[in-house]
Structures are given as C-alpha cells and as structure tokens.
C-alpha cells in the first residue's frame, strides 16, 4: 500500500510503483491502458495485482476480452483461474453495461474491460462509478485513443521495447508529469521463474531503440497468454 489516502495494489515492478501515484495501481479510480495491439504484454503487466486479488480470495472480472484467456499460462503467473469470471458482450452498450455492473457489484477485486469505443463521456461516468467502489478498474483501449480526452486520472501507453520487456509511457497521472519511457521486464521478477520456456510472453527479437512519442504501431506478435476468439 502506498502513501495515498486510497489503498493501492503494487504493480510488482518497483520502478513502476515509484512512478504511480500512491505507489501502485489505485483503487477507487479508473486506470486506462492504451495498447498498440492486443497481446503486447498487458496481462504480464497486470499479473501481480491479479495474483494478489485471487490470493486474497477475491474474484476478477474480464469484460469482452478480444482473446480467450489461456488459463494454464495465467496459473503460471500465480493467478487462480477459478476466480476469473469472463463476460462476452458484442455490442458496445452491452459491454459498457457489464463493465458498470461489475464495478457496482462489489463482487470483484479487479475489473478489466475492453471498450475500444469509449468516449470522454463514458470515461467520466466510469470514473464516477470507480470513485465509489473499493475495486481496481482497468479500461483497455487502442493506442490511437491517446490523443482523445479522457476522465481517467491515470493513463498509460504500452509498447514493446525488446525481447521479454515492455515499454510504458505515463500519459497522465496526478502530480508532476513523467518524461520518457519506462522499460520493464515482461512480467514481475517474482513470477519470472514460474514461466517455462514454452510459455514466454514474447518470442526472441532483436533489440531496438524506442521511438519518440507518440509511439508508432509496433508489429503484432503472438500472445502466449491468450488464444484468439474464433467466430463461427
């Protein structure tokens, strides 16, 4: 727990915790993660709070993930798959309704929603809901939304840096602005030994220099923590 008035969950990355207001992912606030593509490493990034949540016998809600979670890999990250609830909704209004109900219910410690079409008005409504709930709320949207206004007090842009690492840029946070990229391991060091060679988050790739912001669109890579949804 950090020094803020509201409880936080550690990200599992010391460098990131030092930059997050309060020293971790906030409760009672909306956090927005902007992704250049699905499967860039977002589950590895969130693995510590997800593991903490299920370890505390609380549930996790996933609203309309673009991939079906591959639970053996989640278990390798110490996330109890028995406490992961997934809601599939195809229409934007249905996705938003399920996301809102998950926040309101009090039944979940973490709520993650993939709402690519969320507007500023939607983020304002979600932030108001989050303020009244003791839950960590993550809204996942495309990186192309980084220039759009959002009521989320914490916004992070994700992008791959090199083999087994993840690059983050804090677009918005309470307090002083952050300059430059953070480069983190693909998963917290505490869970890295749990991953087998066959369940790595990334395939080996040559290192490269991070582009200046705004970030470009990195090449999509396989996501070992999820399998694509198949439509009939």
The per-residue pLDDT for range 35-75, each reduced to its tens digit, is: 998 888 899 999 999 999 999 999 999 999 998 888 999 99
Question: How many residues are listed for the chain in this entry?
Answer: 232
Residue 5 has pLDDT above 80, yes or no: no
CA atoms within 13 A on the CB side of 58: 19
Of all residues in the chain, what percent carry a pLDDT higher than 90? Answer: 63
> Domains in the chain, start-ordered, CATH in brackets?
8-225 (3.40.50.300)
Structure confidence by residue, pLDDT tens digits, 34-46: 999 888 889 999 9
Contacts (Cβ under 8 Å, ≥6 apart) of 219 = none
Task: Please tell me the predicted confidence (pLDDT) of residue 168.
Answer: 93
Handedness of CA 58, 61, 65, 68 (dihedral sign): positive
Higher pLDDT, 197 or 158: 158
Backbone angles phi, psi at 169, to 5 degrees: -130, 125
Residue 227 has pLDDT above 50, yes or no: no
Most confident of 112-116, 184-188, 197-201, 205-209: 112-116
Backbone angles phi, psi at 36, to 5 degrees: -70, -25
Higher pLDDT, 223 or 81: 81
Handedness of CA 18, 22, 25, 30 (dihedral sign): negative
Contacts (Cβ under 8 Å, ≥6 apart) of 203 = 163, 221, 222
Task: Please tell me the predicted confidence (pLDDT) of residue 95.
Answer: 96
174-198: average pLDDT = 69
User: Which pTM was predicted?
Assistant: 0.81
């Amino acid at each position: 727990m950090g020094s803020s008035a509201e409880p936080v969950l550690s990200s599992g990355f010391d460098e990131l915790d030092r930059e997050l207001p309060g020293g971790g992912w906030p409760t009672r606030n909306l956090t927005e993660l902007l992704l250049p593509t699905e499967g860039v490493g977002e589950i590895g990034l969130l693995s510590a709070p997800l593991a903490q949540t299920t370890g505390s016998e609380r549930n996790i809600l996933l609203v309309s993930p673009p991939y079906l979670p591959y639970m053996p890999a989640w278990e390798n990250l110490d996330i109890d798959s028995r406490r992961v609830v997934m809601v599939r909704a195809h229409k934007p209004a249905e996705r938003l309704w399920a996301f809102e109900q998950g926040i309101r219910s009090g039944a979940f410690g973490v709520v993650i929603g993939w709402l690519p079409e969320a507007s500023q008005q939607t983020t304002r409504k979600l932030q108001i809901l989050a303020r009244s709930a003791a839950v960590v709320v993550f809204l996942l949207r495309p990186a192309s939304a980084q220039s759009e206004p959002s009521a989320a007090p914490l916004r992070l842009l994700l992008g791959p840096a090199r083999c087994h690492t993840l690059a983050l840029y804090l677009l918005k946070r309470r307090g002083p602005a952050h300059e430059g990229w953070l480069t983190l391991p693909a998963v917290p060091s505490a869970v890295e030994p749990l991953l087998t060679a066959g369940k790595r988050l990334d395939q080996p790739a040559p290192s490269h220099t991070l582009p200046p912001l705004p970030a470009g669109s990195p090449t999509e890579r396989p996501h070992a923590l999820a399998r694509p949804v198949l439509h009939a």
